């Protein structure tokens, strides 16, 4: 396309735009004349229809006067409308001529920088829209923008707009993992960083290892007695009472003594459940065994939930924890020993707790504490500043306090005023875990298609069975 043709098209567009504006003004003028004429005619009708006590002669004179004025107005308006119609015809001819010139220029066979006329026209349109958007004018509101605002905008600089497009493409093709911008001049070259341009062929290495988060759990099940049943609950007799006895004289019979009584202990089982879901497609296509992965996660979660209930469970719908029993030495009570310091641990406090236990269970006792309580116990020093407890510092023997092993429980309270921070027990004698069934899984592919639900259950119970075999250390207030 010749330079003259390139320059001619924008000028022709401007001229056509001006002609369209004039044409519109002519139409508005005709509408205005017609409106004024109609208004005068309506006023005349009001005068004709007027009723009253006016003298007929005066009334006829008024009508004649109005009629003469209306005739003069019609003649004047008609002449103005005829002039406007003639002007509009001339403008129509000019507009038709300009449109023909644009069409002739557009139909010429040409290309500029490898682009057709339609592509160039679209670029100009996009550049204009970009101008308007830069002035915070939304495209959706273009219809409400006056022609004065649009006419006030300078013609778009196509060179600057093309540079902007080129820079935008470069920005959008940034490799986020390496934060490196690609050169737009090389955007057609093959590159690892761009998936469609070769990146798809370089697949990352997938390790067989899965990093699994670890959770602290309570060790009560490992230390307590375990019983498996085939019914809803486990019951047995408890011989807690003792027979009465006394002394009698040689010739005087002694009085009747008390007879020991039995207690009946009952441990029901409760239901834990989980309902994880996975899509059928994931189960079919995943690189790992999703069902086994879910089963392992649920099993570990069940272990933590039941372990916490063995410590602090209420016994209502859950196993009962040993921390929930009242203080005392009678049946159904667990003795609490003051650890002899306010809101702190002391070596004397550990001695007091351990030796509150009767001798038969003393040698089989194990400490259970929170991890932070174990840390505080390790801080204890003698009068010369030497650590009293040195687990693992000298040999590989098990850590112990006063010769008894230590286990950490995440559900035990940390050291605080009034907290039951320390437990000491012969756990196999003191606590029992009752299992009705292990973990069972029902695979449900029907209820929520295409999701597969794994309804997982476990029935378990737990409770203190020997109140003599456990002692609690209470931090003083």
pLDDT at site 278: 93
- Is residue 471 within 8 A of residue 356, CB to CB? The reply is yes
* 40 occurs within a structural domain: yes
Is residue 273 situated within a structural domain?
yes
For the question of whether the overall pTM of this predicted structure is more than 0.85, the answer is: no
**Does 195 share its domain with 127?**
no
Residue 59: phi and psi, rounded to 5, are -65, -45
Q: Are 102 and 129 contained in the same domain?
A: yes
pLDDT of residue 92: 67
Question: What range does the domain containing 194 cover?
Answer: 161-201
Q: What is the pLDDT along the chain (477 residues), one digit of tens a residue?
A: 444 444 555 555 555 555 555 555 555 666 666 666 667 666 666 665 554 444 444 556 666 666 666 666 666 766 777 676 677 677 667 666 666 666 565 555 444 555 666 677 777 777 777 766 665 444 444 444 455 665 666 677 777 777 777 776 666 655 554 445 545 555 455 555 556 656 666 677 666 677 777 777 889 999 999 999 988 999 888 888 888 888 888 778 888 888 888 888 899 999 999 999 999 999 988 888 889 889 999 999 999 999 999 999 999 999 999 999 999 999 999 999 998 877 888 888 999 999 999 999 998 999 999 999 998 988 888 778 777 776 655 555 677 888 889 999 999 999 998 899 999 999 999 999 999 888 889 999 998 889 999 999 999 999 999 999 999 999 988
Residues 364, 428: contact at Cβ < 8 Å?
Answer: yes
Residues 10 and 133 in one domain: yes
The CB-based long-range contact list for 96-103 (8 Å cut-off, 24+ gap) reads: 98/12, 98/15, 98/16, 98/19, 99/16, 101/12, 102/9, 102/12, 102/13, 102/16
Cα Rg for the chain, rounded, in angstroms? 49
Q: Which residues pair with 408 in a beta bridge?
A: 369
Which of 143, 158, 173 lies at the terminal end of a domain, its last residue? 158
The CA distances from residue 438 to 96, 170, 230, 269, 315, in Å, are 91, 60, 12, 12, 20
Do 347 and 465 lie in one domain? The reply is yes
Co-location of 266 and 332 in the same domain: yes
SS3 47: helix
- Say if 252 falls within a structural domain: no
Claim to verify: residue 338 and residue 363 sit in the same structural domain: yes
- DSSP lists the bridge partners of residue 233 as 268
Domain assignment present for residue 249? The answer is: no
d(CA 318, CA 390): 38
Nearest 10 degrees: Cα torsion 319, 324, 326, 330: 30
List Cβ neighbours of 45 (8 Å cut-off, separation of 6 or more).
none
Does residue 250 fall inside a structural domain?
Answer: no
Residue 121: Cβ within 10 Å count: 14
Residue owning tokens 């990352």: 204
Whether 236 and 349 share a structural domain: yes
Inside any domain, residue 253 = no
- 197: nearest Cα among 206, 205, 186: 186
Both 174 and 55 in one domain: the answer is: no
Secondary structure letter of residue 198 according to DSSP: B
Q: Could you tell me if residue 184 is inside a domain?
A: yes
Question: Is 251 inside a domain boundary?
Answer: no
Helical pair 3-48 and 56-107, crossing angle rounded to 10 deg: 170
The CATH number that applies at residue 289 is 3.30.2400.10
Nearest to 162 by CA among 123, 114, 132: 123
Same domain, 289 and 394: yes
**Do 93 and 174 lie in a common domain?**
no
What is the tally of structural domains in the chain?
3
Residues 303 and 188 in one domain: no
Q: Give the list of residues 6+ apart from residue 278 with CB closer than 8 angstroms, or none.
A: 290, 291, 294, 451, 452, 454
290 and 416 fall within a common domain: yes
Task: Tell me which residue of 413, 244, 256, 252 sits closest to 322, measured CA to CA.
Answer: 413
Residues 219, 159: Cα–Cα separation, whole Å = 74
Sheet holding 404-408, edge to edge: 336-342, 470-476, 420-425, 366-369, 404-408, 400-401
């Amino acid at each position: 396309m010749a330079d003259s043709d390139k320059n001619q098209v924008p000028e022709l567009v401007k001229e056509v735009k001006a002609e369209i504006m004039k044409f519109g003004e002519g139409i508005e003028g005709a509408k205005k004349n017609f409106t004024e004429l109609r208004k005068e005619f309506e006023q005349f009708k009001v005068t004709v229809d007027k009723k009253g006590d006016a003298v007929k002669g005066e009334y006829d004179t008024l009508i004649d006067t109005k009629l003469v004025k209306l005739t003069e107005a019609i003649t004047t308006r008609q002449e103005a409308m005829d002039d406007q119609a003639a002007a509009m015809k001339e403008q129509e001819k000019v507009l038709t001529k300009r449109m023909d010139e644009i069409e002739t220029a557009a139909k010429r066979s040409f290309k500029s920088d490898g682009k057709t006329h339609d592509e160039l026209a679209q670029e100009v349109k996009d550049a204009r829209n970009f101008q308007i958007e830069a002035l915070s004018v939304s495209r959706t509101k273009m219809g409400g923008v006056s022609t004065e605002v649009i006419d006030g905008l300078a013609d778009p600089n196509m060179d600057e707009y093309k540079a902007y497009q080129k820079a935008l493409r470069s920005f959008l093709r940034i490799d986020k993992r390496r934060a490196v911008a690609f050169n737009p001049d090389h955007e057609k070259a093959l590159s690892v960083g761009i998936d469609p341009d070769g990146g798809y062929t370089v697949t990352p290495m997938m390790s067989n290892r899965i990093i699994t988060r670890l959770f602290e759990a309570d060790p009560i099940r490992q230390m307590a007695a375990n019983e498996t049943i085939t019914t809803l609950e486990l019951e047995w007799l408890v011989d807690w009472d003792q027979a009465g006895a006394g002394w009698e004289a040689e010739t005087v019979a002694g009085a009747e003594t008390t007879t020991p009584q039995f207690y009946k202990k009952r441990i029901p089982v409760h239901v834990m459940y989980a309902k994880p879901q996975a899509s059928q497609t994931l189960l079919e296509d995943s690189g790992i065994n999703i069902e086994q992965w879910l089963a392992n996660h649920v099993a570990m979660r069940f272990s933590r939930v039941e372990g916490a209930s063995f410590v602090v469970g209420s016994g209502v719908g859950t196993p009962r924890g040993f921390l929930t029993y009242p203080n005392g030495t009678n049946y159904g009570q667990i003795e609490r020993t003051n650890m002899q310091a306010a809101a702190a641990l002391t070596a004397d406090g550990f001695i007091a707790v351990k030796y509150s236990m009767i001798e038969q269970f003393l040698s089989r006792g194990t400490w259970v504490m929170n991890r932070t309580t174990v840390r505080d116990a390790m801080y204890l020093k003698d009068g010369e500043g030497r650590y009293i407890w040195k687990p693992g510092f000298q040999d590989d023997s098990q850590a112990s306090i006063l010769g008894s092993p230590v286990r950490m429980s995440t559900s035990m309270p940390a050291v605080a005023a009034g907290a039951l921070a320390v437990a000491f027990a012969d756990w196999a004698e003191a606590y029992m875990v009752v299992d009705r069934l292990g973990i069972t899984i029902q695979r449900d592919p029907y209820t929520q298609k295409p999701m597969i639900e794994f309804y997982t259950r476990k029935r378990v119970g737990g409770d203190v069975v020997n109140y003599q075999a456990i002692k609690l250390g209470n931090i003083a207030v």
